[in-house]
Every structure is written in C-alpha cells, then in structure tokens.
C-alpha cells in the first residue's frame, strides 16, 4: 500500500493521506483544547514519512491536510490506540 501511495492519481493521494493520518495519530496526542507530542521518535517518523511521500508543494499540503482530517475521523471511530 505504501508503494502505491508514492504513485500518481487521486487513489495514490488518498492512500498517502491515510498513511500520513496514521503517522499523525502516532506522533501527537490531541483533544479539544490541547496538542502534545507523544514521542520524539514518532515525530521523526512522521517527518520521514512526509519526505518519502512528498509531491509538489500543493499536493503535499493537500496530503497533510487530508491526513489530519483522516486522523481526526479515525480517532473518533477508534478512540483507543491499537498501535
């Protein structure tokens, strides 16, 4: 799945947004009024993941934005950490 996320098209962008969303959930603890870094290593993994999946500036910003939306939806659906 990560191999295809580096490809082109909207499906690849959706997959890379999903990967970014999972990495955002791992790197940050967040709630209604707070955002905290869970671990420096997980934050480093998020940065490496975004660098590995980067595209043009506009597409990368869209990928991170869609990943943030995906992370919030995933936290609402799965309220406990499974990773």
Give tens-digit pLDDT for 29-68: 888 888 888 889 999 999 999 999 988 999 999 999 999 9
Q: How would you class 3 by CB atoms within 10 Å of its CB: exposed for 0-12, middle for 13-18, buried for 19 or more?
A: exposed
Under 8 Å between Cβ of 25 and 71: yes
The pTM (predicted TM-score) of the whole model is 0.83
Instruction: At 55, give phi and psi (nearest 5°).
Output: -130, -145
Q: How would you class 55 by CB atoms within 10 Å of its CB: exposed for 0-12, middle for 13-18, buried for 19 or more?
A: middle
Q: How far apart are CA 58 and CA 60, in angstroms?
A: 6
Which pLDDT tens digit goes with each residue over 7-19?
Answer: 888 898 899 999 9
């Amino acid at each position: 799945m990560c191999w295809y996320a580096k490809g082109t098209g909207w499906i690849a962008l959706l997959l890379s947004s999903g990967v970014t969303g999972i990495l955002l959930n791992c790197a940050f603890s967040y709630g209604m009024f707070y955002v905290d870094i869970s671990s420096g290593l997980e934050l480093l993994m998020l940065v490496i993941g975004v660098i590995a999946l980067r595209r043009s500036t506009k597409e990368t910003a869209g990928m991170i934005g869609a990943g943030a939306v995906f992370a919030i939806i995933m936290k609402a659906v799965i309220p406990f950490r499974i990773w």
